[in-house]
Structures are given as C-alpha cells and as structure tokens.
Structure 1
C-alpha cells in the first residue's frame, strides 16, 4: 500500500454519467469535538505520492478550522492530524462541512459533498465488517494454537476464506456502481489480491469509459496495465520483481523490537520467508493468519520468518505483532516508505514476501494464502 493506497489501500452506470472535471475553488469547514490543538494538513493522495495542499492549525477548544484551495477535478484527499488520524475525502469544487467527534471519526457527518458522503458511508460499513473478519481470523488462530481437530479447523478456514472473498467483493461493488471517480479508484486500490484485480477486466474497462478524463483514473489504469505486463512476464518465466528467483537475496541489517541489529544473512542455513508488511496495511493484517498457519506447521523443519515492517511508529508495530500472534523475528527502521529495504527489493506494495533457501537464494516470491503452505510442503522436508 504505497504512500497510503494499496499500490498506494455496484449497478453499472453508463459513460454518459456526470464526471466532475471543471476547475474550481473549494472550502472545507470542520467542527470536531475533542480535537487536539496543533497542525492539520490537507493532502492529495495519488498512486505515486502524497501532496500537501493546505495546512492550518487548531488553536482553541472550539474544534473549528477551515481548509481551502482549488481542484482541477474530483480527487482523493485526506485531512491528516498530527497523531496520524485522518479523514478521507472525495473532493470536488464547492463548499463542504464536516461535523463530529475526534474520538469517533468513523461517524462524522458530511454535507455539501455527495462523493465524500458516499465514501464515508462505505468506509464505516467496511470498518465494521473488517472488525468481524478480524475476530474470525483470531478464532482460527486460536484453533491452531490449541491444535483443534483437522475437521474443525478446515471448516473454520473454509468459512473464513469465503467471508474474505465476500469482503473483497464489496470493493468491486462500490467501484462498479459509484458515479464518483475518486471513490472508484479508492475501492479498487484497496483490493488485496492482484490476481482478482486483473481478472476484473470488464469492470476496469467500464471505469475507464465512465471517467475518461480523470487523471486519478488514468493513473490507476496505467498501474493496472503495468501489473498485467508484470504478471504476463512472470507467467512466461521472467520474474517481474526487482529481486529475481535464483538470485541471492540482498542482505540488510535493521533493528529488531528491542533495538538489536539483525541481519538477513544471520539466518543462513534455514529456509526463510522475508515478509514485508506493516501494522497500518489492512491486506497485510488479513494475510497474517495464513502466515501464522504456515509458521506453526513448518517452524520445526528448518524454516523461519523474518518480518520486515514499513511502520513509522514503534507502538502500533509492536501491538500488531502481539494482536496477530506473529511469534517470529521482526525488524524495522521505522521509516515508512523511506526504509532502506524499499529500493533494495524494489517494493511497490505490501504485503510482499520472498522465500529463500538455506544458501540465501530466492526460490519463490509473493506467496499468498494457500500458495505459501503448498510451496513449503514442496520444499521443506
């Protein structure tokens, strides 16, 4: 989820549906109870970077502040606070008002922006379902830990996989029905399975047709085209990642959770899954139960995992390790996308992983779900 978006993170309307493309001024008036004093940033989110558009400060207990500027077309933005909390916006020209409580940003009310109202309703709905799905994942993890009968475990895992697929379909549904290009891109960018994205060619083509002039949509289409070319190259035997299968994985040294410096090379002699993730990455957290399952099954067979986080803050990183039951080695320089490992491995999005043999050579990459377990069964004896 690069720079906030995943690669970054709906009854079909016809191409004649309205598209916000006219340049114009906007103003956002915000009132939030309990909002902390300090700076507030309005940022434009693209698939390449994050751009600060306006800044202001909350100076008193009234909780009132305003942000303003000019947009060329509808885009994806966020209001970001100093502690990292944020409010997602599908921003058009015009006046918007936001009201709510800082301690419950999931339930803000928005007026003056149909697109942002739609986005906030979707985010609230998805957040509730994500919480339910997370609890299901934890339940499956607990069954692993108590070594429940295979029949019980298989039933629970099958149900979880079905619910995960339904959860992902919610994003495709929004992308298919929305009249707002920013919301379509947001929904598509949050889909965690690249294969599912590339298989939905009709939907992607429809989005392109409905919003032919929107730059955010164009950049999404370009990114998907790049992904498809990479997948085609990989299918033809050429690994698309920066680190190729058969090559020795680049070594790196990063601090672990206690601050001790740990190198990748120190794991030589074992099969190692180098797992790039972050606490803020929902697809990563959804994938973690699969990684935990594989680790529990193969940890006593000369296999281990090195978790490499792209977090910025130590506390949420450590909490995610605890909450998800990730009992292997973890390292991070806490530099987000500025981490030294990002250019070293050519990481464009997470979750991403590389499986290394005992000599440190890459034997597989981007193993998800059952693919990881199947590959380990094949090579680890």
Structure 2
C-alpha cells in the first residue's frame, strides 16, 4: 500500500530543480474567532526554501493577522494551541489548510472546535471547490486510518492487510476526482498543486504529461511548474527499458563504488535511511530476497539518505544488510537521490545485467515474485 509505505517524504520544492531567483508573492491571512473563553495562541506554518517557517500570534479579542511572502501560491496550515496530551505532545490542533495567493485570505471561526470558513482570493475559492469534491473520500480515508492505527498498535497484520485494498481504492477515487477537476478546470489557479497530487511521488509520464500540457502557461511557468517539467523528463529517462544513470559514491569505508561495476548481475538499487521507519520495515523482505538469489546473479546496492555515519552503520549491522552500501551523508540532499529524482523513501529500481531498468518500487511479495520470474 503506497500511501502507508511512502511515509518518509521530502517536501522540498528545490530539491530536484535548482530555481533561479523568483519574485515573491505577498499574502495576508485575516481572521477572527467569534467565541473564545481566553486569548488563543495561533500558529501559522508554510513551506519555504525546503523548510517549515512558523509564525505565531495570540488573539486577545479573537482577531488575527498573518502576512508575508511565498515563492508562489501554495498551501499553508493554521493551528491553535490546546492542552498537550500523550498523543499530541505539542498541544496543537489544525484548524485549517489554506491556499495562499496574492490578496487577502479570510478565515472565520465560531470557535476552535468548529470548521472555519475561508475565502477571499481566487486561490482559496478554487481550493474550497476542490475540497468539496474530495471531502467524502477524505472523510473515509481518515476513518480508515484511525482503524488502521488501532490494528497497528495491536500488531494485527492480517487485519491491516484487509484494509490495504480499501486504502488503495480510496486513493484511486481521490485521484480520479482530481483528474476530472483538472479536465473541467484546466485554467484553475491551483492547477499545478492538483496535478502534483495526481502524479504522486512515482510519476507516470505517459499519464500526467498530457494533463500538464493542458494547464495554463502561467501555471507551467511557476517554480513548481518548472520543477514538474524537470520531473517529467527525468521520469522518461528512468522508465523501464531505459539505461540506469551511472554514478559513484563512497561506501562506509570511504571507498568509491560505481553502479557500472555491477554489470553482469541483476541489481536492486535501494534508496533508504536508518531513520526511515517504512524502510526499516521493508529491509527484512530485501534481506530474504538477497539471501535467496545472491548466488544466482542478484545483488543489492543501498543508497542511504543518512547524515550520521554512526547511525547508518548501526542500521546496516542491525538489519543485516550484507550488500554494498553508499552514501554522501547529506540526507535528502544525497547527490544520487537528486540524480534519480527521489522524493520519498523507500524506493528502488531493479536493473538487469546490462544496466537497464526492469521495474521500479518492488516491495514484499512483488519483489519476490519478480525475482522468481527472472531466476526460474
């Protein structure tokens, strides 16, 4: 189930595509809380330059204002401070996800327990329209996620597996709604945001390129539009049947390892990190595959998104990853990761003995089935 497996995600717009200096977009968020027993502390969070930027204000009379600039119209989150609990140690409740753009975005709340009303700009109005279309699917997904967490805590793997098909169905429904929204609204001011949601982290160029080309030129010329164009070209270069991009990076001993040196074997190019829970959960499946087929012409090359050499090596030893490993210890800025456009981990590519890509993102049974097909 991709939605749950792809939990370690990079949200940095500049990670794959070096942007030149862009003209910042000014925004204002003006809001009010009609009923509050005491002053409310609010937090406003937006993603800038690959990092979360958080502002805060206390509202003695219920009125609040946040203002600033962003590289382009984008989403932002509004939180309220509430008493902390074991499940919410920061003591923050998300009040709204907004879509910032030029002009004044308005937010009205009766109180922090109720759903707010937001509007004021064409960006927020378009975002409201999209949310109304996906609301039913999102509600079902939230309910299913709560059920899944209960099963996860109980370590009920059979129960979790039963929910996975439903998760995938809901995700497919959400994307279908978004694709129809773009077909009906190709000039939408939030078009690039919607397309990015449709494309996901494993971009299918054949599916999304026609949609991208149908969007307004202004949308395609935004920083995210230019980045998406870059991702499209990279996806074409990394499609099954294409040669993998060669690289050299150091192993834990500081010695360079090249991808080309593995020619003659099937190679699973595995992107992971010691801090990535889904990666560590998938490692036993990769270990089993490696041990079963290592004498038949199969190996693994791990590319770690770690920053700590010590933690990287500890994870290698603990998970018994007895295959070559490389990293430049730059975390999400790993040069091989950028070369391959990796935006979420775990991810992998299976290469044939000639260095061509056979398949992508094979996990669990899918990896075992593919290797059984190749070696039997």
Q: Tell me the number of residue pairs that the alignment of Structure 1 and Structure 2 aligns.
A: 299
**Residue 206 of structure 1 aligns with which residue?**
214
Q: Secondary structure at the match of 2:138?
A: helix
**Residue 175 of structure 2 aligns with which residue?**
168
Equivalent runs, 1:111-150 vs 2, <5 Å? 111-120=119-128, 121-122=131-132, 124-125=135-136, 127-132=138-143, 134=145, 145-146=157-158
| 1:192 maps to which of 189, 200, 203 | 200
Mapped to 2, the partners of 1:24 and 1:301 lie a distance apart of: 55
Once the 2 structures are TM-superposed, how far is the Cα of residue 161 of structure 1 from its aligned partner?
A: 4.2
Mapped to 1, the partners of 2:105 and 2:146 lie a distance apart of: 36
Once the 2 structures are TM-superposed, how far is the Cα of residue 94 of structure 1 from its aligned partner?
A: 3.3
Once the 2 structures are TM-superposed, how far is the Cα of residue 111 of structure 1 from its aligned partner?
A: 3.1
Give the TM-score taking structure 1 as reference length.
0.53
**Residue 229 of structure 1 aligns with which residue?**
233
Runs of 4+ in structure 1 deviating by more than 6 angstroms, as ranges, are 5-8, 135-144, 302-311, 327-330, 361-365
Q: Does the alignment pair 1:108 with 2:95?
A: no
Mapped to 2, the partners of 1:170 and 1:6 lie a distance apart of: 28
**Residue 262 of structure 2 aligns with which residue?**
none
Once the 2 structures are TM-superposed, how far is the Cα of residue 4 of structure 1 from its aligned partner?
A: 5.6
Once the 2 structures are TM-superposed, how far is the Cα of residue 374 of structure 1 from its aligned partner?
A: 3.5
Task: Indicate if the aligned counterparts of 1:272 and 1:306 stay in contact, CA closer than 8 A.
Answer: yes
Mapped to 2, the partners of 1:125 and 1:277 lie a distance apart of: 36
| 1:97 maps to which of 98, 102, 106 | 106
**Residue 343 of structure 1 aligns with which residue?**
334
Once the 2 structures are TM-superposed, how far is the Cα of residue 213 of structure 1 from its aligned partner?
A: 2.4
CA deviation string 1:76-131 (max 9, x = no partner)? 142466968584433343333212388668x3211323531442435755532432
Structure 1 gap ranges (5+): 9-22, 254-270, 312-326, 331-337
Once the 2 structures are TM-superposed, how far is the Cα of residue 175 of structure 1 from its aligned partner?
A: 3.0
Once the 2 structures are TM-superposed, how far is the Cα of residue 24 of structure 1 from its aligned partner?
A: 9.1
Mapped to 1, the partners of 2:174 and 2:287 lie a distance apart of: 26
Mapped to 1, the partners of 2:301 and 2:111 lie a distance apart of: 38
**Residue 275 of structure 1 aligns with which residue?**
272
Task: Indicate if the aligned counterparts of 1:44 and 1:75 stay in contact, CA closer than 8 A.
Answer: no
Q: Secondary structure at the match of 1:31?
A: strand
| 1:367 maps to which of 361, 365, 368 | 361
CA deviation string 1:145-177 (max 9, x = no partner)? 4599xxxx7x97666544442233233233333
Structure 1 residues 220, 99: closer, same or farther in 2, change over 3 A?
A: same
Task: Indicate if the aligned counterparts of 1:354 and 1:366 stay in contact, CA closer than 8 A.
Answer: yes
Once the 2 structures are TM-superposed, how far is the Cα of residue 354 of structure 1 from its aligned partner?
A: 3.9
Task: Indicate if the aligned counterparts of 1:76 and 1:88 stay in contact, CA closer than 8 A.
Answer: no
- Alpha-carbon RMSD across the aligned residues, in angstroms, is 5.8
Structure 1 residues 3, 96: closer, same or farther in 2, change over 3 A?
A: same
